[in-house]
């Protein structure tokens, strides 16, 4: 099957509209571009209004797709629900990329930050998956992409709450993959390692972690794997690391390794 035919099949399965949550830059931007390349129209959600509008204009110009963008804090699920419901569009693919990651010792993380972490990383992706899967089930086709992280494979010092929420997303993706597959809906959880995004490079004081790959590669590999398996770990180094940390090494050693790796984050 040639590339053109693959794009047509992808659009038929997951189009005509896709929603990307956390879409203004970095990995969200990479997902948006990859979907526009497949000819899908886009609904983009993110906080940064100017960045979001610039991204939407660029995609319209380069790929001749329709793009709607809404500046929204994804901690506010009710607002996201209102936007999606009022659009009344046939959205065939949800990509949930938004995340909040408070960095530091647990004792120094505020209750407000903890609530925000749960809202952005757990509540909104869970409820959006519920909201958007219902019309997908009725149409008998669609897809959901949930972002997880290698940090969620074990306890991760200085990223303890973020890591726990990412473990939730991976397990949720696996459960939905099995449950929704017979209804024509493909679900995948992407367990990503370090991604070369502006936020990562700002947080990481030392050189990039081994296995760090571009946002474009993560998006491309994840979308290519959609419909084929419940979980993808982009990058060979990251696959090996995940296997070692979750299958071979004792938990206490894996936790200590993560502590050493996250010590440079601030």
The DSSP line for 124-172 is: HHHHHHHHHHHHHHHHT-EEEEEEEEGGGGS--TTSHHHHHHHHHHHHH
* Predicted local distance difference test score (pLDDT) of residue 198: 55
Structural domain boundaries enclosing 35: 3-262
Specify the pLDDT at position 201: 47
* 200-239: pLDDT as tens digits: 545 445 455 677 899 999 999 999 999 999 999 999 999 9
DSSP structure class, residue 208: P
- The answer to whether 128 touches 189, Cβ cutoff 8 Å, is no
16 prior amide bond cis, ω within 30: yes
* Domains identified in the chain, total number: 1
pLDDT at residue 46 tops 70: yes
3-state secondary structure of 210: coil
CATH code of the domain in which 198 resides: 3.40.50.720
Q: Please state the pTM of the whole predicted model.
A: 0.93
Question: Looking at residue 2, what is its pLDDT?
Answer: 79
Q: State how far the Cα of 3 lies from the Cα of 132, in Å rounded to an integer.
A: 28
Report yes or no: 255 and 166 within 8 Å, Cβ to Cβ.
Answer: no
Query: Which residue, among 91, 109, 93, has the nearest Cα to 101 in the 3D structure?
Result: 109
- 152 Cβ contact list (under 8 Å, min separation 6): 163, 164, 165, 166, 167, 168, 169, 170, 191
Does position 79 have pLDDT exceeding 50, yes or no?
yes
What mean pLDDT is predicted for residues 239-251?
94
Helix-strand-coil percent breakdown of the chain, rounded to 5? 55, 15, 25
pLDDT surpassing 60 at residue 247: yes
Centre a 10 Å sphere on the Cβ of residue 201 and count the other Cβ atoms it contains.
13
Task: Give the closest residue to 29 by CA, choosing from 73, 77, 81, 69.
Answer: 69
Angle at 23 between CA 186 and CA 214, to 5 degrees: 80
Mean pLDDT of 175-202: 87
């Amino acid at each position: 099957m040639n590339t053109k035919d693959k794009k047509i099949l992808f659009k038929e399965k997951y189009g005509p509209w896709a929603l990307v949550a956390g879409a203004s830059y970095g990995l969200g931007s990479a997902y948006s571009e990859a979907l526009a390349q497949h000819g899908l129209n886009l609904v983009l959600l993110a906080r940064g209004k100017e960045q979001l509008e610039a991204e939407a204009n660029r995609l319209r110009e380069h790929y001749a797709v329709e793009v709607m963008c809404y500046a929204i804090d994804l901690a506010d699920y009710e607002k996201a629900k209102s936007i999606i419901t009022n659009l009344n569009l046939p959205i065939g693919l949800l990509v949930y990329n938004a995340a909040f990651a408070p960095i530091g010792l647990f004792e120094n993380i505020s209750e407000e930050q903890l609530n925000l972490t749960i809202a952005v990383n757990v509540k909104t992706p869970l409820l959006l998956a519920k909201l958007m899967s219902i019309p997908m089930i009725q149409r008998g086709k669609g897809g959901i992409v949930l972002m997880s992280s290698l940090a969620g494979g074990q306890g991760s010092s200085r990223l303890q709450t973020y890591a726990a929420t990412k473990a939730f997303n991976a397990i949720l993706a696996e459960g939905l993959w099995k449950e929704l597959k017979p209804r024509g809906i493909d679900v995948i959880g992407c367990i990503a390692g370090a991604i070369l995004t502006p936020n990562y490079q700002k947080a990481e004081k030392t050189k990039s972690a081994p296995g760090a790959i571009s946002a474009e590669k993560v998006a491309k590999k994840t979308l290519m794997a959609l419909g084929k398996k419940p979980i993808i770990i982009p990058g060979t180094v990251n696959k090996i690391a995940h296997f070692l940390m979750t299958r071979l090494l004792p938990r206490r050693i894996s936790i200590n390794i993560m502590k050493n790796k996250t010590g440079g984050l601030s």
